[in-house]
Structure 1
Amino acid sequence: MKLMGLKAVIRQKRYQYRPSTPQHVAKNVLNRSFDQPYKPRQILLTDVTELKYGKTCKAYLSAVLDYGEKKIIAHQVSKRNNNQLVADTVVQIEDEVIPGETLFHSDRGFQYTFHFFKAFVDKYELIQSMSRVGKCLDNGPMEAISGTLKEEMYSLKTYDSFEELEADIARNIDFYNNERVTLAMGLKILA
C-alpha cells in the first residue's frame, strides 16, 4: 500500500465510558418479592427518571414508592440529576420510616451508592437493597410507575417550561395516589 501511495481510512477513536466504582453497594434483599402483601412503610422503592421539556432541556424526577400502600410518598423534580435531588427526596420521608423494619430498594445509580445515601440508610437504620446490575425488573414496580407517568402524561403533551412540567408531574402523582382505579380498590370493595 505504501508503494502505491494508498492509506487506510481509520476512524477516529472515541471516548469510551469508564464506569466508576460504586462507593457502597448492597445485596438484592428484596429479590423481586413483589407478590406478597406488605404493610405501609415496610418496602420503599425509589428511582430517578429523565423527562425533557423545551427544545433541549431535561428535568429529572426522583420518587419514592411505598409498596405496601402502592402510593408515591415523596417526589422531587430538578433540572439536575445529582445527589442533591435524591437528598431532597428522601428528607421528605425521614419521619415515616420504621427503624430496623423499612427496606429501601433502589437501582445502583450513582446517587444510591454515594456516601450521603449510605449515611441516610445508617442514620435511620433502614435495610438497604439494590437491584443487580442491568436488571431493571428488580425494581419493576417503580419502573412501571415511571413508564405509566410517561405514557399517560408526558407523551401526550409537549412541555415548554420546567414549571409546566413540574406542575403536571404533581397533578399526575396526586391522581395516581388518590383517584386511579386499581385492582386493589376492587378487592377492598369485595371484602
Structure 2
Amino acid sequence: MTITAYLSAILDLADKSIVSYVLGHSNNNELVFRTFDLAHITYPEAKPLFHSDRGFQYTNKLFKKKLDEAGMTQSMSRVARCIDNGPMESFWGMIKSEIYSP
C-alpha cells in the first residue's frame, strides 16, 4: 500500500522563511485554503502580494475571494514560465533533494 502526502507551504520572499505549511492526504483546495488561513491568522496585518503558479487551487474563485477579503493582491506566473515562481520552485527542489537523496 502506498501512502502519499502533500505539503502546501507559503514562502516569505523578504527573509526566505516559511510563513505557514500544512501536510495533507490530497492536493486539493482544502489543503491550500488551510495553509492560507494559517498564514493569515499568524500575520493578520500583512497585506502582501501573493504570488503563485497557475495551479487549480490558486485560480479558484474562492481563493481569489479569500485574498480580496484579506486585502492581499494576487499575482500568478505566466503560462509555462516556472521561472516566475523561482523562489518557491527552489524551495521544493531543496525539499525533494533532502527527501530523495541517500
Secondary structure of 2:18's counterpart equals: strand
Structure 1 unaligned runs (5+)? 1-54, 158-191
CA contact (8 A) 2:40 2:46 kept: no
After superposition, the CA RMSD in angstroms is 1.4
- Once the two structures are TM-superposed, the CA of residue 134 in structure 1 deviates from its matched residue by 1.3
| Paired letter, 2:101 | L
- 1:92-111 mapped onto 2 (5 Å cutoff): 92-95=38-41, 96=43, 97-99=45-47, 102-111=48-57
Which residue is equivalent to 1:117? Answer: 63
**How many angstroms apart in 1 are the aligned matches of 2:70 and 2:34?**
16
- Once the two structures are TM-superposed, the CA of residue 115 in structure 1 deviates from its matched residue by 1.8
**How many angstroms apart in 1 are the aligned matches of 2:79 and 2:23?**
25
| Paired letter, 1:98 | A
Give every structure 1 segment of 4 or more consecutive aligned residues whose post-TM-superposition deviation is greater than 6 Å.
Answer: none
Structure 1 or 2, whichever has the larger Rg, is: 1
Which residue is equivalent to 1:155? Answer: 100
The answer as to 2:35 corresponding to 1:85 is no
Q: Kindly tell me the number of residue pairs found equivalent between the two proteins.
A: 100
- Once the two structures are TM-superposed, the CA of residue 110 in structure 1 deviates from its matched residue by 0.2
- Once the two structures are TM-superposed, the CA of residue 98 in structure 1 deviates from its matched residue by 2.4
**How many angstroms apart in 1 are the aligned matches of 2:26 and 2:11?**
21
Q: Report % sequence identity.
A: 46
- CA deviations 1:116-136 (Å, max 9, x no partner) are 211111101111100011111
Q: Which has the higher contact order (CA 8 A, sep 6+)?
A: 1
Which residue is equivalent to 1:139? Answer: 85
- Once the two structures are TM-superposed, the CA of residue 148 in structure 1 deviates from its matched residue by 0.3
- CA deviations 1:24-69 (Å, max 9, x no partner) are xxxxxxxxxxxxxxxxxxxxxxxxxxxxxxx533211100000101
Q: Name whichever structure is richer in helix by fraction.
A: 2
**How many angstroms apart in 1 are the aligned matches of 2:88 and 2:18?**
9
Q: When the two structures are superposed, what TM-score results if normalisation uses the length of structure 2? A: 0.90
- Once the two structures are TM-superposed, the CA of residue 73 in structure 1 deviates from its matched residue by 1.0
Q: When the two structures are superposed, what TM-score results if normalisation uses the length of structure 1? A: 0.50
Which residue is equivalent to 1:127? Answer: 73
